[in-house]
């Protein structure tokens, strides 16, 4: 069994705690547990998309357990050849000034080669910077596959392509991988293939050495009826081959009839997702990804009806993403008419006709209380550059404080050992 820096720190921490308890005359039962209420270790997972940005790095390093940079995208090049089908078709052609029926062969394009491309979105220098900064954090980069045909090709023969991914993770020395395979056109018919893919990935990146996570749609009871792509993710089967399942609990405001303003993630929707998750995923493997952004709608005039009945009505624009960081820094400029909390999110109405559903520290504090009530110890966020300082401080306060043993040993020996 390979011990990485995190395992070493864990055992060193246990030893240090034991020594500290002895020194101060405390019994083990006197000491604060990792989480008395949960009985499970709380963990924080932060995704980052802007690979050259250092925004919020310090707070993320202080509060998080897993750092998930979106480093990789997988796509496929396809080569086709035109081949004779052996069939004929009759066409009219003008020959020497006269139209004649002529028999011609029928050709078709045949796929002769499919070439996978694992695109690295960051330079080696950026990757090195992540590793150098990470300290006690696990780095499990995200692999994105979000094109319908690419997903079908990938799942057609998992063994054929998994080694390409696993070899990259091993070569770069990462702690594991986070898989994000999603497309609304992919549903239940590919569910079994996805499980096979994750099973093969687990075989090549074994539990004792690597952490595997998968990001999934936020299923709730019966959700596949209106959202067929939810059935792509069989939680029960997937959890057997991964360390964590990340529930992407956001974007509930999209696709609403009439673009009606509503929360990106309401409390009622979060609870429905958790009700389903606790029945299908072990709690220690459950991670709830929360949005570090809100939505902004603008009222506009639109023409409706026909003929004499044609008239102007007010309608809402499609929602525009609004980062929690921007919202926090520009609150005084919003020309606020009314501000309240609606079903778990901050609702702002402005005097110039905008409606905002946003995120702040109260929203996140209340959501974390909901997770505690469900005894779910894993939380995360999409994405780092959108988060406000206040939200990350709320995350930091949610976890019991721990001493950074890695920093201690690095200072003690004057070198980066952990």
Q: What is the pLDDT of residue 2?
A: 44
Give the integer Cα–Cα distance in Å for 73 and 75. 7
Q: What is the pLDDT of residue 36?
A: 36
pLDDT, tens digit, 9 for 90 and up, residues 350-400: 999 999 999 999 999 999 999 999 999 999 999 999 999 999 999 999 987
Q: How many CB atoms lie within 10 A of CB 299?
A: 14
347 has a pLDDT exceeding 60: yes
% of the chain surpassing 90 pLDDT: 60
Q: What is the pLDDT of residue 147?
A: 95
Tokens of 329: 């820094």
- Partner residues linked to 358 by β-bridges: 346
Please say whether the dihedral angle defined by the alpha carbons of residues 267, 273, 278 and 283, taken in this order, is positive or negative: negative
20 has a pLDDT exceeding 50: no
Q: How confident is the model at residue 7 (pLDDT cuts 50, 70, 90)?
A: low
pLDDT, tens digit, 9 for 90 and up, residues 275-303: 999 999 999 999 999 999 999 999 887 77
Q: In whole angstroms, how far apart are CA 50 and each of 47, 56, 62, 169, 240?
A: 10, 11, 19, 20, 32
199 has a pLDDT exceeding 90: yes
What DSSP element (H or E) covers 73?
strand 72-95
pLDDT, tens digit, 9 for 90 and up, residues 401-411: 544 454 445 44
**Can you list the domains of the chain with their CATH numbers?**
40-71+121-292+359-412 (3.20.20.80), 77-117 (no CATH)
For residue 108, report the phi and psi dihedrals to the nearest 5 degrees: -140, 150
Q: What is the pLDDT of residue 38?
A: 41
Q: How many CB atoms lie within 10 A of CB 50?
A: 13
pLDDT, tens digit, 9 for 90 and up, residues 59-106: 888 889 999 999 999 999 877 778 788 898 888 888 888 888 888 888
Give the integer Cα–Cα distance in Å for 359 and 281. 27
Tokens of 205: 């990146």
Give the integer Cα–Cα distance in Å for 346 and 324. 11
pTM: 0.82
Question: What string of DSSP letters covers 307-322?
Answer: GGG-EEEEEEPPPEEE
Give the integer Cα–Cα distance in Å for 213 and 210. 10
Q: In whole angstroms, how far apart are CA 279 and each of 176, 272, 286?
A: 26, 11, 11
What DSSP element (H or E) covers 58?
helix 57-63
Q: What is the pLDDT of residue 1?
A: 40
pLDDT, tens digit, 9 for 90 and up, residues 208-233: 999 999 999 999 999 999 999 999 99
Residue 25: cis peptide before it, omega within 30 degrees of 0: no
23 has a pLDDT exceeding 60: no
What DSSP element (H or E) covers 359?
none
Q: Which residues contact 48 (CB under 8 A, 6 or more apart)?
A: 60, 67, 68, 69, 70, 383, 384, 385
Q: Which residues contact 133 (CB under 8 A, 6 or more apart)?
A: 57, 61
Q: Give the total residue count for the chain.
A: 418
Give the integer Cα–Cα distance in Å for 189 and 183. 13
The CA-to-CA distance between both ends of the chain, in Å, stands at 18
Q: What is the pLDDT of residue 109?
A: 77
35 has a pLDDT exceeding 90: no
Q: What is the pLDDT of residue 57?
A: 85
Q: What is the pLDDT of residue 12?
A: 54
Give the integer Cα–Cα distance in Å for 418 and 410. 7
Q: Which residues contact 171 (CB under 8 A, 6 or more apart)?
A: none
Q: What is the pLDDT of residue 28?
A: 35
21 has a pLDDT exceeding 70: no
List % helix, strand, coil for the chain (3-state, nearest 5): 40, 30, 30
Cβ proximity of 326 and 266 under 8 Å:
no
Instruction: Determine the average pLDDT of the residues in 43-48.
Output: 95
Q: What is the pLDDT of residue 413?
A: 56
- Mean pLDDT in the chain? 85
Q: What is the largest CA-CA distance in the chain?
A: 110
55 has a pLDDT exceeding 90: no
Residue with tokens 């998750």: 277
């Amino acid at each position: 069994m390979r011990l990485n820096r995190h395992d070493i720190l864990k055992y060193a921490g246990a030893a240090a705690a034991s020594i500290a308890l002895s020194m101060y005359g405390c019994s083990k039962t006197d000491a604060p547990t990792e989480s008395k209420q949960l009985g499970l270790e709380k963990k924080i997972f932060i995704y980052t998309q802007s690979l050259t940005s250092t925004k919020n790095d310090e707070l993320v390093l202080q509060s998080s357990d897993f750092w998930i940079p979106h480093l990789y995208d997988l796509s496929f090049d396809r080569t086709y050849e035109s081949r004779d089908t052996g069939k004929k078709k009759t066409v009219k052609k003008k020959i020497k000034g006269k139209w004649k029926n002529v028999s011609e062969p029928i050709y078709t394009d045949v796929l002769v080669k499919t070439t996978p491309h694992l695109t690295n979105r960051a330079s080696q220098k950026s990757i090195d910077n992540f590793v150098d900064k990470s300290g006690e954090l696990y780095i499990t980069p995200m692999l994105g596959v979000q094109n319908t045909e690419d997903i079908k090709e990938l799942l057609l023969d998992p063994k054929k392509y998994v080694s390409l991914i696993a070899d990259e993770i091993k070569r770069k020395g990462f702690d594991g991988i986070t898989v994000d395979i999603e497309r609304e056109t992919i549903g239940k018919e590919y569910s079994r293939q996805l499980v096979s893919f994750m099973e093969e990935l687990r075989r090549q990146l074994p539990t004792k050495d690597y952490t595997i996570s998968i990001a999934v749609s936020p299923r709730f009871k019966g959700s596949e009826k209106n959202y067929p792509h939810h059935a792509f993710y069989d939680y029960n089967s997937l959890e057997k081959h991964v360390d964590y399942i990340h529930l992407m609990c956001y974007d509930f405001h999209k696709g609403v009839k009439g673009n009606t303003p509503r929360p990106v993630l309401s409390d009622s929707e979060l609870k429905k997702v958790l009700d389903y998750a606790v029945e299908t995923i072990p709690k220690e493997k459950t991670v709830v990804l929360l949005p570090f952004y809100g939505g902004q709608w603008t009222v506009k005039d639109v023409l409706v009806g026909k003929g004499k009945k044609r008239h102007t009505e007010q309608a809402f624009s499609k929602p525009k993403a609004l980062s929690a960081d921007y919202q926090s820094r520009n609150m005084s400029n919003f020309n606020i008419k009314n501000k309240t909390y609606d079903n778990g999110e901050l609702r702002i109405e402005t005097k110039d006709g905008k409606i905002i559903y946003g995120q702040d520290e109260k929203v996140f504090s209340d959501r974390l209380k909901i997770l505690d009530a469900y005894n779910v110890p894993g939380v995360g966020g999409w994405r780092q550059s959108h988060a406000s300082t206040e939200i990350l401080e709320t995350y930091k306060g949610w976890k019991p404080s721990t001493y950074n043993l890695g920093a201690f040993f690095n200072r003690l020996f004057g070198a980066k050992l952990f």
